[in-house]
Structure 1
Amino acid sequence: MQHNQLEKIKNGKGFIAALDQSGGSTPKALAAYGVSEDAFANKKEMFDLVHEMRTRIITSPAFDSDFILGAILFEQTMDSKIEGMYTGDYLAEKKGIVPFLKVDKGLDAESDGVQLMKPITDLDETLKRATEHHIFGTKMRSVIKEANPEGIKAVVDQQFKVGKQISAAGLVPIIEPEVDINSTEKEKCEELLKAEILYQLDHLSEDEPVMLKLTIPTQTNLYKEFIDHPKVVRVVALSGGYSTDVANEKLKANEGLIASFSRALSQDLNVNQTDQEFNAALKEAVESIYDASI
């Protein structure tokens, strides 16, 4: 773990860009970008197209380290190149932006009001490759839909168990137990979640720092304790399906919470835009999310 990257993520001004839509969500991400499903015949062509989209975002002058601290990549993106360099290296060396990797394999079926992560069978191998590609940290997502204490405990236990494996490999895990913004018990879910996370944080050792990626809470500043916690490098917020404007508005109300948005970052980008139009749209999104984060 590089000290200057840790310092940037811990204290830098800005936000973390999520560029990690994977297998299931890639067609949706491409469709939103104006590339319909008849543009690709198979998964390889689909991933090539999404890599072109991500390359266009990352190489844009609007994708700037003055505003963006880090970027979360999908495995295929990490293994692909931009201008002859692996994406993680390109981000770190050319852009001064800290690379993260999404390591989960998607969600299991809902049980006890939550969706746990599917087992990550090749995690050690992935972490080894991530280290070779100068990746700083990882991200993994579970989802909470109901205020079920057993379910929420299971989500947090699983997240921190995998997190410890990631810490042991020398990377910083982003723990992401998302609370569904459409849950009728959202606020209650968040109270239960907070208690479980605090319990886990207090049992981490000195060399197991984590980041937290959480849904913007219903109760403003609910997660302040995490932001001040010595084991927490940074607390970032997911947009969770809110539009950019709504997500930014909610984020501004929470002191010390910064964005890690994916849809809100790319919602106004289109494959048919000229470079000038594309860069202008991206710049507007980047600056609005940055303002909400600081």
Structure 2
Amino acid sequence: MTLMLSKNIQDELQQTARLLATNGKGILAADESMSTIGKKFVQIAVENTKENRRLYRQMLFGDDRIREFISGVILHDETLYQKDDNGKGFVDLLREKNIVPGIKVDRGLVLLMGTNNETNTQGLDDLKPRCEEYYKLGCRFAKWRAVLKIDEHGGSPSQLAIVENARGLARYASICQECRIVPIVEPEVLSDGNHSLEKCQQVSQKVFAATIAALHEHNVLMEGILLKPNMITAGHDFNGKAENNAEEIGMATVMTLMRTIPPAVPGIMFLSGGQSEEEATVNLSMINQIGSKIKPQTPWKLSFSYGRALQNSAITIWAGNVENVGKAREELIRRMKANSLASQGRYMPGSSTTTSSTATKSNYVAKHVY
């Protein structure tokens, strides 16, 4: 006999997923590990201490205006237990703003033996008790990142890497739903390499289809998940990358999703994948414009789950200085508003860039980890 989720759990998962996919809102990914945020701090000459990490997250979460543009925030485990200067826990601070707290639950990448340095994601062994604890602490959704790379000379991604990463995502999603937590399913095809947009589309279509098939095999409730895929772009080192404009990226992305993702999925929340803040916004807006024009129209909410593409200008302005919090928040709100408009296909390119921002600066990091 197949074990199925109770109706109460199904209803709760669907309610949370729909809330996260609210029209005009997206997700702030603030789940950087201590080492990853440490790399950001080095660039702004801030010491990577627990207190400085708390102060930075307080800058991100403290402005009431974020509720207008953000439906959920992905937290790191450390942040769950931290409080603002007034003694209020960050989880409670977000919930008071009607923002859903989420949590990164994977434990990073490990090499997948028998492949050309491809990876699989670890963290399944103790995932259920961790999810049960996270639910008690107020988290209602989670994130798990699987990574695949395109290397035509090395035969990547291999079928083994595609299958194993899809299975890992499906098992994670199943465990999360059992614990009343909405899983964000993140099959990321990296932008590392010199492949064309067409190659990215070909590989991404295969990866997304395999992921959905694995989710079905694990009896995952499609109405109770969100997808966090890459946009379809040429590789970072592709010689003809400049020839791929937002319209080409938007059309390739929409067609890939239409061919692979069930209409039952409430929302698709794109990762930025190293694009500059402005690129990620422009491309998201074009995806929504194209999605509303084709027939049939795209059935999902198409929005964002950005980390670097929301934070980079703000953290540069903040630079660890309490006197800069106000200016940093203004920049953060500007980027959030821009992406809110983009999620509705209404963003005007260049309208949110300022002399103080680094919005057009590439956020690409080779072999990026969290």
Q: TM-score range by the shorter chain?
A: 0.7 to 0.9
- Which of residues 156, 167, 171 is equivalent to 2:177? 167
Q: 1:190–1:4: structure 2 CA closer, same or farther, 3 Å change rule?
A: closer
- Which of residues 71, 74, 87 is equivalent to 2:90? 87
In the other structure, the counterpart of 1:50 is 53
In the other structure, the counterpart of 2:211 is 197
% same residue: 22
- Which of residues 115, 119, 124 is equivalent to 2:123? 119
Q: 1:212–1:251: structure 2 CA closer, same or farther, 3 Å change rule?
A: same
For residues 48 and 18 of structure 1, what CA distance do their matches in structure 2 show?
A: 20
For residues 201 and 122 of structure 1, what CA distance do their matches in structure 2 show?
A: 20
More strand by share: 1
For residues 277 and 211 of structure 2, what CA distance do their matches in structure 1 show?
A: 27
The C-alpha deviation readout for 1:175-219, integer Å capped at 9, x for no partner, is 112110124243332021122023234445475622111111242
Q: 1:71–1:227: structure 2 CA closer, same or farther, 3 Å change rule?
A: farther
Q: Secondary structure at the match of 1:248?
A: helix
Q: Secondary structure at the match of 1:181?
A: coil
For residues 129 and 218 of structure 2, what CA distance do their matches in structure 1 show?
A: 24
In the other structure, the counterpart of 1:179 is 189
In the other structure, the counterpart of 1:212 is 227
In the other structure, the counterpart of 1:242 is 275
In the other structure, the counterpart of 1:43 is none
Q: Secondary structure at the match of 1:25?
A: helix
Alignment of 1:1-294 (within 5 A): 1=12, 5-32=16-43, 34-36=44-46, 39-40=47-48, 46-62=49-65, 64-82=66-84, 83-92=86-95, 94-109=96-111, 112=115, 114-146=118-150, 147-183=157-193, 184=195, 185-203=199-217, 205=219, 207=221, 209-218=224-233, 219-221=252-254, 222-224=256-258, 229-230=263-264, 232-255=265-288, 256-269=301-314, 270-271=318-319, 272=321, 274-294=324-344
| TM-score, normalised relative to structure 1 | 0.87
Aligned 8 A contact 2:112 2:161 in 1: no
Superposed CA RMSD: 2.3
State the number of aligned residues.
283
Q: 1:291–1:48: structure 2 CA closer, same or farther, 3 Å change rule?
A: same
Deviation at 1:245, TM superposition (A): 0.9
Aligned 8 A contact 1:265 1:286 in 2: yes
For residues 3 and 157 of structure 1, what CA distance do their matches in structure 2 show?
A: 22
Q: 1:16–1:152: structure 2 CA closer, same or farther, 3 Å change rule?
A: same
For residues 281 and 61 of structure 2, what CA distance do their matches in structure 1 show?
A: 22
For residues 10 and 245 of structure 1, what CA distance do their matches in structure 2 show?
A: 22
Aligned 8 A contact 1:227 1:235 in 2: no
Deviation at 1:48, TM superposition (A): 2.4
Q: Secondary structure at the match of 1:215?
A: coil
For residues 231 and 31 of structure 2, what CA distance do their matches in structure 1 show?
A: 19
| TM-score, normalised relative to structure 2 | 0.70
For residues 194 and 206 of structure 1, what CA distance do their matches in structure 2 show?
A: 15
The C-alpha deviation readout for 1:149-195, integer Å capped at 9, x for no partner, is 22112111111112111111111111112110124243332021122
Unaligned runs of 5+ in 1: 41-45
Unaligned runs of 5+ in 2: 1-11, 151-156, 234-251, 289-300, 345-370
Aligned 8 A contact 1:227 1:234 in 2: no
Aligned 8 A contact 1:108 1:117 in 2: yes
Q: 1:214–1:6: structure 2 CA closer, same or farther, 3 Å change rule?
A: closer
| Partner AA of 1:196 in structure 2 | A
Aligned 8 A contact 2:75 2:102 in 1: yes
For residues 243 and 281 of structure 1, what CA distance do their matches in structure 2 show?
A: 15
Q: 1:287–1:191: structure 2 CA closer, same or farther, 3 Å change rule?
A: same
For residues 252 and 152 of structure 1, what CA distance do their matches in structure 2 show?
A: 29
| Partner AA of 1:223 in structure 2 | L
Q: 1:216–1:132: structure 2 CA closer, same or farther, 3 Å change rule?
A: same
For residues 91 and 195 of structure 1, what CA distance do their matches in structure 2 show?
A: 34
Q: 1:47–1:187: structure 2 CA closer, same or farther, 3 Å change rule?
A: farther
